[in-house]
Amino acid sequence: MKDPVKAESPWRDRIRALQNMPAVLRILWQSGRAVVTWGLFLRLVVAMLPFGIAKIAAYILNDIAEVIRGHALAANFWHLVAAEVVLNVSLGLITRAIDYSDSLLANRYTQYVSVRVMEQAARLDLTTYEDPVFYDRLERARVQATDRLAMIQQLGRLVTQIITTLAFSAALAFASPWLVLLLALGVLPSFLGETHYAFLGYAKNFRQTPAKRQMDYLRQVAGSREGAKEVKLFGLNKFFTNRFQALADQIYLEDVTLSRSKLIVGGLLGVIGTLGYYGAYVYVIWRTLHGAYNIGQFGFLTTAIQQASSNLQQVFSTASGIADQALFLTDLIAFFDMKPTVISNPDGHPAPAKIQRGFEFRNVSFTYPGTNRTVLKNFNLTLSPGERIALIGENGQGKTTVVKLITRLYDPTEGEILLDGIDLREYNLEDLHRNIGVIFQDFMRFEMTARENIAVGRVDQPYQDSDIEVAAHKSLADTVVDKLAGGYDQMLGRRFEGGVELSGGEWQKIALARAYLRDAQLLILDEPTAALDARSELEVFERFAELTLGKMALLISHRFSTVRMADRIVVLAGGRLIEEGNHQQLIEKNGLYASMFEMQAASYR
């Protein structure tokens, strides 16, 4: 996956980034249709109020001037004053209503986008998570899901600012088109400068993402419970701190360099904007002194100049800010546009209610995306109903890849995997997964209650407390739960208040209970007892042998005391199946299995 930033073409990239806006507006609309509609209506009203207030103020000034000249007070004078008061009060109230609407929309948007990010992350292929570039994009997408709220508010403000600007600019153009031209020429350089620096800010943040991820990792590892022992014993505190400081200094230097340049250039461009404003202001004074405008018109035009100039600057600034935010949203939109390759066939077969012929790997080869290394080469294997197979081999020989292929977390690069004679890709993926129970060596330790930790093994189906207890009994997790003060309602892990930490072996028993709760037709254990002591391992596998009787089971383990319980042992080397048979048959062959068994047995003598 490539993720380039073309800093040499900021305007083209900025315009391209604005193509994100339709997608963003769709997300905004979907997150809260009623709130968006109400907010737009309020902004349309509040955008016209300043024009109305300024126009009424002009009439009031003219009436006051007439009184000063000795004329009678206009009959509707106090009505005009009351109207101006009402409009100003309304402006304050509606502005507060807009703030309230914005806060509601911000909550809706944040929740909606966060859920979308979680759903999209779950849809993507497992291989995607093995790409560091994807992690950079995912990190930016997660940040953008919540940090782009400023753009949502800016979009609303832009609507208000444009309408207000158009209203006052029309009044100025009616008085003299030169006024609008002076204001525009004053504001345009500042807008171009803001736009340029907005892109540079995005490019800087893009470059800094890998460094910031490293900093997050260093913060975590230096202050985590898991790393505390080695940090102390190996004296790693200064090593991690110095590495963190070097990255932080690098980021700080880049930030300061950009900010300093923006300060100087932005200040100079701001002076041009001020000169444009006062050029229009002086022009109105000159015209008024020569009798072109009365005092009311003068007051209205100066207000119009101030409002048009201010709002025009805000329009350019807000538009620049939106373009800036749109650049950052490039990653969020690109993340949403990513498509998984391992997808469920919409017209797929349901998984067999009772598997008849089992699984078959037929000339399967697999290469991880982005690499040239073939993990499996013309691999053939059958797994029949009621059969328990153990996969063994040295690290990196494709054992776990076999598991990920049979569960269809991956699709083979070549060949096919059949279930009851039908390619796995022809089955409904969710239904297939419901019939497979898997516990990986790197299983999840959910920071939830003991009950929830087991229940996640079957969240798509209702369960009773008795189901949880039976699954725990099968995996020996009931002996762990019995020691917990809160029993099955005890929070596990240290992240939340009242949580308790378990040993590695205790966590494994909890994880095994998930697989047993699933009551699947195929049970897969990938190094399931790595954290257990010898006695606990023996107990777990004696129970495993009983519970998988008559079911299909696939077991990966480096412990030969475990794999010899299997009906058939499959030995992998170089991505191929090189030996298979039961323990006694493989010992008699005196091949790789016998050699590995002898090496392990010798270590216990």
Q: Are residues 402 and 526 in the same domain?
A: yes
Structure token pair of residue 448: 């939830």
Q: DSSP states of 101-134 as a string?
A: HHHHHHHHHHHHHHHHHHHHHHHS-GGGGG-HHH
Domain region containing 489: 444-519
Is 194 inside a domain boundary? Answer: yes
Is 6 inside a domain boundary? Answer: no
Residue-level pLDDT at 277: 74
Q: Are residues 482 and 600 in the same domain?
A: no
Q: Are residues 582 and 508 in the same domain?
A: no
Q: Which residue from 32, 23, 27 is spatially nearest to 334, judged by alpha carbons? A: 23
Q: Which of 493, 519, 545 is the last residue of a domain?
A: 519
Identity of the residue numbered 71: H
- 252: burial class by Cβ within 10 Å (0-12, 13-18, 19+)? exposed
C-alpha 373/C-alpha 410 separation (Å) is 16
Q: DSSP states of 448-496 as a string?
A: SBHHHHHHGGGTTS---HHHHHHHHHHHTTHHHHTTSTTGGG-BBSSSS
Q: Are residues 229 and 158 in the same domain?
A: yes
- Minimum mean pLDDT among 33-37, 151-155, 325-329, 374-378: which range? 325-329
- Phi, psi dihedrals of residue 476, rounded to the nearest 5°: 70, 10
Question: Which residues lie closer than 8 Å to 193 by C-beta, 6 or more apart?
Answer: 265, 266, 269
Mean pLDDT computed over 69-74: 83
Q: Are residues 294 and 407 in the same domain?
A: no
Q: Are residues 252 and 364 in the same domain?
A: no
CATH of the domain at 28: 1.20.1560.10
Q: Are residues 71 and 187 in the same domain?
A: yes
CATH of the domain at 462: 3.40.50.300
Residue-level pLDDT at 485: 92
Which of 149 and 507 is assigned the larger pLDDT? 507
Is 5 inside a domain boundary? Answer: no
Is 2 inside a domain boundary? Answer: no
Q: Which of 469, 495, 519 is the last residue of a domain?
A: 519
Q: Are residues 31 and 80 in the same domain?
A: yes
Is 548 inside a domain boundary? Answer: yes
Question: Which residues lie closer than 8 Å to 143 by C-beta, 6 or more apart?
Answer: none
Identity of the residue numbered 35: V
Rounded to two decimals, the pTM is: 0.66
**Cα dist from 350 to 261, 345, 399, 435, 582, whole Å:** 63, 10, 27, 10, 33
Q: Are residues 510 and 575 in the same domain?
A: no
Mean pLDDT computed over 158-162: 87
Structure token pair of residue 561: 């005391």
Question: pLDDT tens across 414-465, in order?
Answer: 999 999 999 999 999 988 988 888 888 778 888 999 999 999 888 877 778 8
Percent of the chain, pLDDT > 70? 90
Which of 227 and 526 is assigned the larger pLDDT? 526
Q: Are residues 227 and 255 in the same domain?
A: yes
Stretch (H or E) spanning 259: helix 237-289
What is the separation of C-alpha 67 from the centre of its chain, rounded to a whole number of angstroms? 66
Q: Are residues 170 and 286 in the same domain?
A: yes
Number of domains in the chain: 3
Q: Are residues 302 and 192 in the same domain?
A: yes
Is 4 inside a domain boundary? Answer: no
Q: Which of 282, 308, 337 is the last residue of a domain?
A: 337
β 576-581/568-573 pair status: antiparallel
Residue 222 has pLDDT above 90, yes or no: no
